[in-house]
């Protein structure tokens, strides 16, 4: 739809950006922190581990001051479960509570609303050792952890996110580094884990509504509109399949408290039906287990064609944004209309608007974007300059689509691109940078880790100061 004029961003729009604990904090074994699955994982050859990352644990004050300088209204970060409970449950680590108390206080002192993800890929290794999400005990460990977070930080944190990209952990856990390589029947086991995570999320939402007055909580999946490769009905059906498996399975459960029917038929066909114990569906359907909003991460759309069941659709699982396929269900297809990043991720700003519209019309809940951004090999030039015009272009185009979606009637209340500060990518190291702030380190040479404002830092500051107006006025 073409509009003569666009609606403005709401006055209280939450401009900010995101990070996650293990990708930014470092201090992986300091002050009583226990190991997580990420700390124990093998990292791809040639890329760094997460031991020091961006050293935010020691530099959080300086970092928050920089976010404040950009004018952030909110900051999305995750709490490392293993700082709070080094073994996942039972014994609390006071130093971990202290760190996040300090970080939250620092944000509030700078008028920045904390937006907290409880769990961003870093399951405590002690729980993994006992089967991780395959073990139902992890459900209650998560609920107990959530309760501890509410009790310690709920007086200051109003916005909570449960699990980051549960769908990517199920579909691309091997790339992200969360997949337990010992699983005998990985797909079946993964959907069992998925069921347990859904229960854990439902319990955390119920507790949030019980314990905290006025707090809001939502899920944080990675959602991409799925296009059919052509208008051939079989391709449209394949897109429908992938949409159900990639997107709606997760949001239907969170928002409606039931399994998506196409995803369920897929489980039946493939032998992936999870074991559901008595009482599980009641917890999932509980009226107080419903989210107050939906947070979602968006990088690109996905395009698929029909898979006839006799092709090589499934050789590997790709990564978060690279779709391979599954025999007889769908097959990844390169969208000829889209450009790709240096890392092979398709760039689709218009698809962002499509995705925003689809989520909103399906669930009718307020939305916040908790990730969106461009990973690139930034270059530090002489005089501490980083000319990341390509990032500005990417973000500008996506913010414009937010504005169009708002004009379409989508209730969007915040935008938090990935990432606030350079951090270590899930599987492509510290050279794949996303931040507004450059961190002076290389893959294996930690240098001085000093913070340098990129060109996008100054640009985003102007975007926020104008409440997005400079984007709308820009006719390019």
Under rule CB under 6 A, residue 428 binds ligand BG6: yes
Which string of x and - marks every residue 289-308 that binds ligand BG6 (by CB under 6 A)? --------x-----------
Under rule CB under 6 A, residue 25 binds ligand BG6: no
Q: Which of 48, 42, 51 is nearest to 22 (CA)?
A: 51
Query: Which residue among 418, 438, 457, 460 contacts ligand BG6 (CB under 6 A)?
Result: 418
Please state, in angstroms and rounded to a whole number, the distance separating the CA atoms of residues 217 and 116: 10
Under rule CB under 6 A, residue 425 binds ligand BG6: yes
Query: Which residue among 48, 243, 317, 320 contacts ligand BG6 (CB under 6 A)?
Result: 320
Under rule CB under 6 A, residue 168 binds ligand BG6: yes
Active site residues: 165, 371
Under rule CB under 6 A, residue 355 binds ligand BG6: no
Q: Which of 192, 58, 203 is nearest to 118 (CA)?
A: 203
Strands 302-305 and 330-332, by their bridges, are antiparallel
40 Cβ partners below 8 Å, 6+ apart? 125, 128
Query: Which residue among 164, 166, 401, 456 contacts ligand BG6 (CB under 6 A)?
Result: 164
How near is the Cβ of 390 to ligand BG6 at its closest, in Å?
Answer: 15
**92/376 with CB nearer ligand BG6:** 376
202 Cβ partners below 8 Å, 6+ apart? 257, 283, 284, 286, 289
Q: Reduce the DSSP state of residue 472 to 3 states and report it.
A: helix
The alpha-helical segments, DSSP class H, found in 287-388 are 349-363
Whether residue 354 has a cis bond before it, omega within 30° of 0: no
Under rule CB under 6 A, residue 431 binds ligand BG6: no
Q: What is the dihedral of CA 136, 163, 407, 112, to 10 degrees?
A: 140
Please state, in angstroms and rounded to a whole number, the distance separating the CA atoms of residues 291 and 205: 7
Please state, in angstroms and rounded to a whole number, the distance separating the CA atoms of residues 272 and 258: 17
Output the residue with the shortest Cβ distance to ligand BG6. 425
C-beta neighbour count of 278 within 10 angstroms:
6
Under rule CB under 6 A, residue 422 binds ligand BG6: no
How near is the Cβ of 427 to ligand BG6 at its closest, in Å?
Answer: 6
Q: What is the dihedral of CA 357, 363, 364, 367, to 10 degrees?
A: -70
Q: Which stretch binds ligand BG6 (CB under 6 A): 43-51, 160-168, 324-332, 449-457?
A: 160-168
How near is the Cβ of 321 to ligand BG6 at its closest, in Å?
Answer: 8
Q: Which stretch binds ligand BG6 (CB under 6 A): 30-38, 151-159, 243-251, 420-428?
A: 420-428
Q: Which of 224, 223, 222, 226 is nearest to 239 (CA)?
A: 226
Query: Which residue among 432, 441, 451, 454 contacts ligand BG6 (CB under 6 A)?
Result: 432
Under rule CB under 6 A, residue 43 binds ligand BG6: no
How near is the Cβ of 49 to ligand BG6 at its closest, in Å?
Answer: 14
Under rule CB under 6 A, residue 165 binds ligand BG6: yes
Site for ligand BG6 in 176-215 (CB under 6 A): none
CB 142 within 8 A of CB 119: yes
Count the residues of the shown chain that bind ligand BG6, applying the rule CB under 6 A.
16
Please state, in angstroms and rounded to a whole number, the distance separating the CA atoms of residues 39 and 178: 11
How near is the Cβ of 178 to ligand BG6 at its closest, in Å?
Answer: 11
Please give the radius of gyration of the chain, using alpha carbons only, rounded to the nearest integer: 21
Please state, in angstroms and rounded to a whole number, the distance separating the CA atoms of residues 402 and 399: 5
Under rule CB under 6 A, residue 375 binds ligand BG6: yes
Under rule CB under 6 A, residue 340 binds ligand BG6: no
Which string of x and - marks every residue 239-258 that binds ligand BG6 (by CB under 6 A)? --------------------
Residues that bind ligand BG6 (CB under 6 A): 20, 23, 164-165, 168, 222, 297, 320, 371, 375, 418, 425-428, 432
């Amino acid at each position: 739809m073409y509009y003569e004029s666009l609606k403005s961003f709401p006055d209280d729009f939450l401009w900010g950006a995101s990070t996650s604990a293990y990708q930014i904090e470092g201090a992986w074994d300091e002050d009583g922190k226990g190991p997580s699955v990420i700390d124990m994982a093998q990292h791809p050859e040639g890329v760094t581990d997460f031991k020091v990352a961006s050293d935010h644990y020691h530099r959080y004050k300086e970092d928050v001051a920089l976010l404040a300088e950009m004018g952030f209204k909110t900051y999305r970060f995750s709490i490392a479960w293993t700082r709070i409970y080094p073994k996942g449950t039972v014994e609390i680590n006071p130093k971990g509570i202290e760190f996040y108390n300090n970080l939250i206080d620092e944000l509030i002192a700078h008028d920045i609303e904390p937006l907290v993800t409880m769990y961003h890929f870093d399951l405590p290794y002690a729980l993994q050792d006992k089967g991780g999400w395959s073990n139902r005990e992890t459900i209650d460990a998560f609920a107990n952890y959530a309760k501890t977070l509410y009790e310690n930080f709920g007086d200051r944190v109003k916005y909570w996110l449960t699990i980051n990209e549960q769908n990517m952990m199920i579909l691309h856990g091997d790339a992200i580094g969360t997949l337990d390589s010992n699983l005998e029947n990985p797909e079946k086991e993964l959907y069992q884990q998925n069921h347990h995570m859904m229960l854990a999320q439902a319990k955390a939402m119920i507790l949030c509504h019980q314990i905290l007055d006025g707090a809001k909580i939502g899920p944080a999946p990675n959602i991409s509109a799925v296009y059919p490769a052509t208008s051939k009905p079989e391709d449209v059906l394949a897109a429908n399949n992938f949409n159900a498996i990639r997107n709606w399975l997760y949001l239907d459960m969170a928002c409606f408290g039931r399994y998506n029917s196409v995803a369920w038929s897929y489980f039946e066909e493939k032998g992936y039906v999870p074991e559901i114990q008595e009482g599980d569906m009641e917890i999932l359907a509980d009226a107080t287990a419903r989210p107050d909003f939906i947070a979602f991460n968006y990088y690109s759309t996905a395009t698929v064609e029909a898979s006839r069941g006799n092709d090589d659709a499934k050789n590997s699982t790709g990564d978060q944004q690279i779709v391979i396929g599954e025999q007889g269900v769908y097959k990844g297809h390169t969208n000829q209309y889209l450009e790709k990043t240096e890392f092979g991720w398709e760039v689709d700003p218009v698809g962002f608007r499509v995705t925003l519209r689809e989520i909103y019309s399906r669930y009718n809940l307020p939305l916040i974007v908790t990730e969106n951004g461009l990973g690139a090999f930034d270059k530090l030039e002489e005089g501490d300059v980083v000319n990341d015009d390509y990032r500005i272009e990417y973000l500008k185009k996506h913010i414009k689509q937010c504005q169009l979606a708002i004009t379409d009637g989508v209730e969007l209340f915040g935008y938090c691109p990935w990432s606030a500060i350079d951090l270590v990518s899930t599987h492509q190291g510290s050279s794949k940078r996303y931040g507004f702030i450059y961190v002076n380190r290389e893959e294996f040479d930690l240098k001085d880790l000093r913070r340098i404002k990129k060109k996008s830092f100054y640009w985003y500051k102007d975007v926020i100061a104008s409440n997005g107006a400079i984007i709308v006025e820009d006719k390019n």
